[in-house]
Amino acid sequence: MADPILSFRTVTEMFLVRYSLVAGVLTPSPIAIPMNPANVVLAHGMSNQDLRQTSFKGTDEVVYTYLQESIPELSIEFGAASPDIEATLVNRIAATETNAVGWVYFEATANATSVTARTSTEFGFEVAAQTVNSKALVYYIDPLTKLPKPLTVVAADPTGDQIMIGASLALTLSSALAATGANIYGYVPAVTFPNATRIGSTSPLLYGAYIMGICFDETVRQLTCNRLSWMPGGNFEKAPTRSITFRVLPDNTDTTGLGYSIRYLRGTVPAKK
Protein backbone atom coordinates (compact mmCIF):
# COMPACT_ATOMS: atom_id res chain seq x y z
CA MET A 1 0.00 0.00 0.00
CA ALA A 2 1.09 3.60 -0.57
CA ASP A 3 -0.17 7.15 -0.12
CA PRO A 4 1.82 9.14 -2.70
CA ILE A 5 -0.97 11.69 -3.09
CA LEU A 6 -0.01 13.06 0.33
CA SER A 7 3.58 13.82 -0.67
CA PHE A 8 5.31 16.92 -1.99
CA ARG A 9 5.29 17.31 -5.77
CA THR A 10 7.33 20.35 -6.87
CA VAL A 11 8.14 24.02 -6.42
CA THR A 12 5.77 26.23 -8.37
CA GLU A 13 6.08 29.94 -7.58
CA MET A 14 8.23 32.35 -5.62
CA PHE A 15 8.48 35.93 -4.41
CA LEU A 16 11.95 37.42 -4.14
CA VAL A 17 12.88 40.67 -2.37
CA ARG A 18 15.94 42.80 -1.74
CA TYR A 19 16.50 44.85 1.38
CA SER A 20 17.95 48.37 1.42
CA LEU A 21 18.13 51.07 4.05
CA VAL A 22 15.40 53.67 3.63
CA ALA A 23 15.59 56.46 6.21
CA GLY A 24 17.60 54.11 8.40
CA VAL A 25 15.03 51.30 8.19
CA LEU A 26 15.76 47.96 6.48
CA THR A 27 13.06 47.96 3.80
CA PRO A 28 12.16 45.23 1.28
CA SER A 29 11.35 45.83 -2.39
CA PRO A 30 10.27 43.19 -4.91
CA ILE A 31 12.54 41.70 -7.57
CA ALA A 32 10.79 41.25 -10.91
CA ILE A 33 10.50 37.56 -11.83
CA PRO A 34 9.10 37.04 -15.36
CA MET A 35 8.35 33.34 -14.92
CA ASN A 36 8.32 30.64 -12.25
CA PRO A 37 11.76 29.32 -11.27
CA ALA A 38 13.11 26.46 -13.35
CA ASN A 39 14.69 24.86 -10.28
CA VAL A 40 15.23 25.60 -6.60
CA VAL A 41 17.77 23.81 -4.39
CA LEU A 42 18.10 24.29 -0.64
CA ALA A 43 21.39 22.67 0.38
CA HIS A 44 21.40 22.14 4.15
CA GLY A 45 25.17 22.61 4.38
CA MET A 46 25.53 20.41 7.43
CA SER A 47 28.76 18.70 8.39
CA ASN A 48 29.61 16.50 11.36
CA GLN A 49 32.62 16.37 13.62
CA ASP A 50 33.84 13.11 15.14
CA LEU A 51 35.22 12.64 18.63
CA ARG A 52 37.90 9.97 18.50
CA GLN A 53 39.86 7.97 20.96
CA THR A 54 42.38 5.19 20.83
CA SER A 55 40.80 1.84 21.59
CA PHE A 56 42.34 -0.78 23.85
CA LYS A 57 43.55 -2.49 20.70
CA GLY A 58 45.45 0.64 19.64
CA THR A 59 43.15 1.59 16.77
CA ASP A 60 41.34 4.90 16.45
CA GLU A 61 37.59 4.75 16.93
CA VAL A 62 34.73 7.24 16.78
CA VAL A 63 32.99 7.50 20.13
CA TYR A 64 30.63 10.35 19.30
CA THR A 65 29.54 12.42 16.32
CA TYR A 66 28.05 15.87 16.60
CA LEU A 67 26.94 18.64 14.24
CA GLN A 68 29.95 20.84 13.61
CA GLU A 69 28.35 23.43 11.32
CA SER A 70 25.19 24.27 9.40
CA ILE A 71 25.74 26.68 6.50
CA PRO A 72 22.71 26.32 4.22
CA GLU A 73 22.62 27.72 0.68
CA LEU A 74 19.67 28.50 -1.57
CA SER A 75 20.24 28.17 -5.33
CA ILE A 76 17.64 29.35 -7.83
CA GLU A 77 17.64 28.74 -11.57
CA PHE A 78 15.53 30.86 -13.91
CA GLY A 79 14.48 29.86 -17.41
CA ALA A 80 14.59 33.53 -18.42
CA ALA A 81 15.87 36.66 -16.74
CA SER A 82 14.56 40.17 -16.11
CA PRO A 83 16.91 43.15 -15.59
CA ASP A 84 16.26 42.68 -11.87
CA ILE A 85 17.46 39.06 -11.98
CA GLU A 86 20.57 39.94 -13.97
CA ALA A 87 21.34 42.71 -11.46
CA THR A 88 20.91 40.26 -8.57
CA LEU A 89 23.32 37.88 -10.31
CA VAL A 90 26.12 40.38 -9.53
CA ASN A 91 24.59 41.74 -6.29
CA ARG A 92 23.45 45.02 -7.80
CA ILE A 93 20.21 46.96 -8.22
CA ALA A 94 18.65 47.71 -11.60
CA ALA A 95 17.23 51.20 -12.12
CA THR A 96 15.80 53.36 -14.87
CA GLU A 97 17.76 56.25 -16.30
CA THR A 98 17.25 59.08 -18.77
CA ASN A 99 19.63 60.29 -21.47
CA ALA A 100 21.70 57.12 -21.33
CA VAL A 101 24.76 57.18 -23.59
CA GLY A 102 25.37 53.95 -25.43
CA TRP A 103 26.05 52.65 -28.92
CA VAL A 104 24.23 51.18 -31.92
CA TYR A 105 25.21 48.24 -34.09
CA PHE A 106 23.65 47.92 -37.52
CA GLU A 107 23.79 45.79 -40.65
CA ALA A 108 22.75 46.56 -44.22
CA THR A 109 23.06 45.06 -47.69
CA ALA A 110 24.77 47.11 -50.37
CA ASN A 111 22.18 46.59 -53.12
CA ALA A 112 20.85 50.16 -53.32
CA THR A 113 22.26 53.65 -52.83
CA SER A 114 19.94 54.39 -49.89
CA VAL A 115 18.63 52.60 -46.81
CA THR A 116 15.49 53.91 -45.11
CA ALA A 117 15.86 55.49 -41.68
CA ARG A 118 14.65 53.69 -38.55
CA THR A 119 11.24 54.67 -37.18
CA SER A 120 10.65 56.13 -33.70
CA THR A 121 9.87 52.71 -32.21
CA GLU A 122 12.91 50.95 -33.70
CA PHE A 123 16.35 50.57 -32.18
CA GLY A 124 18.74 52.98 -33.86
CA PHE A 125 16.25 55.81 -34.27
CA GLU A 126 18.31 57.82 -31.76
CA VAL A 127 21.42 57.94 -33.99
CA ALA A 128 22.32 61.50 -34.99
CA ALA A 129 23.60 62.38 -38.47
CA GLN A 130 27.34 61.66 -38.56
CA THR A 131 29.96 64.16 -39.72
CA VAL A 132 33.41 63.57 -41.21
CA ASN A 133 34.69 63.55 -37.63
CA SER A 134 32.44 60.62 -36.73
CA LYS A 135 33.84 57.87 -34.55
CA ALA A 136 31.58 55.35 -36.27
CA LEU A 137 33.21 52.23 -37.70
CA VAL A 138 31.75 50.64 -40.83
CA TYR A 139 33.12 47.84 -43.01
CA TYR A 140 32.38 45.00 -45.37
CA ILE A 141 34.40 41.80 -45.79
CA ASP A 142 36.66 41.86 -48.83
CA PRO A 143 35.90 38.63 -50.72
CA LEU A 144 39.52 38.33 -51.89
CA THR A 145 41.40 38.93 -48.64
CA LYS A 146 38.61 37.84 -46.25
CA LEU A 147 39.58 40.89 -44.18
CA PRO A 148 37.46 43.91 -43.20
CA LYS A 149 37.37 46.69 -45.78
CA PRO A 150 36.73 49.93 -43.89
CA LEU A 151 34.23 52.42 -45.25
CA THR A 152 34.86 56.12 -44.80
CA VAL A 153 32.02 58.09 -43.22
CA VAL A 154 31.29 61.33 -45.09
CA ALA A 155 28.66 64.04 -44.60
CA ALA A 156 27.52 64.14 -48.26
CA ASP A 157 28.00 62.71 -51.76
CA PRO A 158 29.76 59.40 -51.01
CA THR A 159 31.99 57.88 -53.69
CA GLY A 160 33.85 54.57 -53.83
CA ASP A 161 34.20 52.99 -50.38
CA GLN A 162 32.33 55.80 -48.65
CA ILE A 163 29.05 55.91 -46.75
CA MET A 164 26.88 58.64 -45.32
CA ILE A 165 25.10 57.96 -42.01
CA GLY A 166 22.12 60.22 -41.63
CA ALA A 167 19.78 60.76 -38.70
CA SER A 168 18.06 57.60 -37.44
CA LEU A 169 20.45 55.44 -39.50
CA ALA A 170 19.33 56.66 -42.90
CA LEU A 171 22.22 55.35 -45.01
CA THR A 172 23.49 56.66 -48.32
CA LEU A 173 25.95 54.50 -50.28
CA SER A 174 28.03 55.34 -53.30
CA SER A 175 26.83 53.83 -56.55
CA ALA A 176 30.02 51.76 -56.71
CA LEU A 177 29.43 50.36 -53.24
CA ALA A 178 25.76 49.70 -53.94
CA ALA A 179 26.75 47.58 -56.94
CA THR A 180 28.79 45.15 -54.84
CA GLY A 181 25.90 43.52 -52.95
CA ALA A 182 28.19 43.24 -49.93
CA ASN A 183 26.97 42.89 -46.37
CA ILE A 184 27.79 46.03 -44.38
CA TYR A 185 28.44 46.06 -40.66
CA GLY A 186 28.53 49.22 -38.56
CA TYR A 187 29.03 50.55 -35.05
CA VAL A 188 28.02 54.04 -33.95
CA PRO A 189 29.20 55.20 -30.49
CA ALA A 190 28.01 58.06 -28.28
CA VAL A 191 24.30 57.57 -28.99
CA THR A 192 21.96 59.13 -26.43
CA PHE A 193 18.85 57.09 -25.54
CA PRO A 194 16.04 59.04 -23.82
CA ASN A 195 15.14 56.15 -21.53
CA ALA A 196 16.86 52.94 -20.47
CA THR A 197 17.14 50.43 -17.66
CA ARG A 198 20.64 49.83 -16.35
CA ILE A 199 22.40 47.64 -13.82
CA GLY A 200 23.82 50.11 -11.33
CA SER A 201 26.65 50.03 -8.79
CA THR A 202 24.52 49.93 -5.62
CA SER A 203 24.31 46.62 -3.73
CA PRO A 204 21.39 45.44 -1.58
CA LEU A 205 22.13 44.64 2.06
CA LEU A 206 20.09 41.43 2.27
CA TYR A 207 17.61 39.36 0.31
CA GLY A 208 14.55 37.30 1.15
CA ALA A 209 12.88 34.41 -0.70
CA TYR A 210 9.35 33.07 -0.29
CA ILE A 211 8.90 29.89 -2.27
CA MET A 212 5.66 28.01 -2.78
CA GLY A 213 5.24 24.42 -3.83
CA ILE A 214 2.40 21.99 -4.31
CA CYS A 215 1.66 18.48 -3.08
CA PHE A 216 -0.03 15.86 -5.23
CA ASP A 217 -3.31 16.54 -3.42
CA GLU A 218 -2.94 20.22 -4.46
CA THR A 219 -2.27 21.49 -0.95
CA VAL A 220 0.43 24.09 -0.43
CA ARG A 221 3.99 23.78 0.85
CA GLN A 222 6.01 26.88 1.71
CA LEU A 223 9.73 27.48 2.12
CA THR A 224 10.53 30.78 3.84
CA CYS A 225 14.01 32.30 3.89
CA ASN A 226 13.71 35.73 5.48
CA ARG A 227 17.40 36.56 5.58
CA LEU A 228 19.74 35.78 2.70
CA SER A 229 23.13 37.13 1.71
CA TRP A 230 24.36 37.09 -1.86
CA MET A 231 26.99 34.58 -2.98
CA PRO A 232 29.06 34.55 -6.18
CA GLY A 233 27.81 32.10 -8.78
CA GLY A 234 26.13 31.96 -12.14
CA ASN A 235 27.18 33.62 -15.38
CA PHE A 236 25.83 35.83 -18.12
CA GLU A 237 25.26 33.37 -20.95
CA LYS A 238 23.91 33.48 -24.48
CA ALA A 239 20.99 31.34 -23.37
CA PRO A 240 18.29 33.21 -21.40
CA THR A 241 18.80 31.00 -18.33
CA ARG A 242 20.31 32.52 -15.19
CA SER A 243 21.15 31.13 -11.74
CA ILE A 244 21.62 32.85 -8.38
CA THR A 245 23.00 31.51 -5.09
CA PHE A 246 22.35 32.87 -1.60
CA ARG A 247 23.65 32.05 1.85
CA VAL A 248 20.82 31.36 4.30
CA LEU A 249 21.43 33.43 7.44
CA PRO A 250 20.14 32.87 10.98
CA ASP A 251 16.58 34.05 11.52
CA ASN A 252 15.04 34.19 14.98
CA THR A 253 11.57 33.64 13.50
CA ASP A 254 12.30 30.41 11.62
CA THR A 255 10.81 27.08 12.65
CA THR A 256 13.83 24.84 12.07
CA GLY A 257 16.55 26.76 13.87
CA LEU A 258 18.51 26.54 10.62
CA GLY A 259 17.56 29.89 9.08
CA TYR A 260 14.52 28.73 7.13
CA SER A 261 10.97 27.53 7.70
CA ILE A 262 9.08 24.75 5.90
CA ARG A 263 5.34 24.44 6.33
CA TYR A 264 2.72 22.15 4.83
CA LEU A 265 -0.58 24.01 4.71
CA ARG A 266 -4.04 22.52 4.37
CA GLY A 267 -5.51 24.91 1.84
CA THR A 268 -5.55 23.82 -1.81
CA VAL A 269 -4.30 25.89 -4.73
CA PRO A 270 -7.31 27.70 -6.26
CA ALA A 271 -8.26 27.35 -9.90
CA LYS A 272 -7.37 30.15 -12.30
CA LYS A 273 -9.96 32.92 -12.26
Which residues are 53's β-sheet partners? 61
- Return the number of other C-beta atoms located less than 10 Å from residue 166's C-beta: 17
* Whole-number Å distance between alpha carbons of 186 and 168: 13
- Cα(210)–Cα(16) distance, rounded to whole angstroms? 6
pLDDT at residue number 72: 97
With contact defined as beta carbons under 8 Å apart, do 139 and 183 qualify? no
Q: Please state whether the predicted TM-score (pTM) of the whole model is above 0.85.
A: yes
| Cβ partners under 8 Å of residue 122, min gap 6 | none
Can you give the pLDDT at residue 93? 96
The DSSP letter of residue 129 is P
Return per-residue pLDDT of the chain as tens, 273 residues. 889 999 999 999 999 999 999 999 999 999 999 999 999 999 999 999 999 999 999 999 999 999 999 999 999 999 999 999 999 999 999 999 999 999 999 999 999 999 999 999 999 999 999 999 999 999 999 999 999 999 999 999 999 999 999 999 999 999 999 999 999 999 999 999 999 999 999 999 999 999 999 999 999 999 999 999 999 988 999 999 999 999 999 999 999 999 999 999 999 999 877
The alpha carbon dihedral of 259, 265, 268, 273 has a sign of negative
* Residue 22 neighbours by CB distance under 10 Å: 10
Task: Report H helices in the chain.
Answer: 83-89, 175-178
**Residue closest to 258 by CA, chosen among 74, 12, 7, 26:** 74
The Cα–Cα gap between 144 and 180 comes to 13
**Residue 211 phi/psi, 5° resolution?**
-115, 130
Instruction: Report which residue type is found at 171.
Output: L
Which run of H or E residues covers position 45? none
Please name the residues in contact with 198: beta carbons below 8 A apart, sequence gap of 6 or more: 94, 95, 96, 97, 100
Question: How are beta strands 171-173 and 162-165 bridged, if at all?
Answer: antiparallel
> Hey, what amino acid is at 218?
E
Gyration radius of the chain's alpha carbons: 29
Query: What is the DSSP code (8-state) at residue 82?
Result: -
Q: Are 216 and 9 in contact (CB under 8 A)?
A: yes
Long-range contacts of 159-166 (CB under 8 A, 24+ apart): 163/138, 164/130, 165/127, 165/129, 165/130, 165/134, 165/136, 165/138, 166/117, 166/129, 166/130
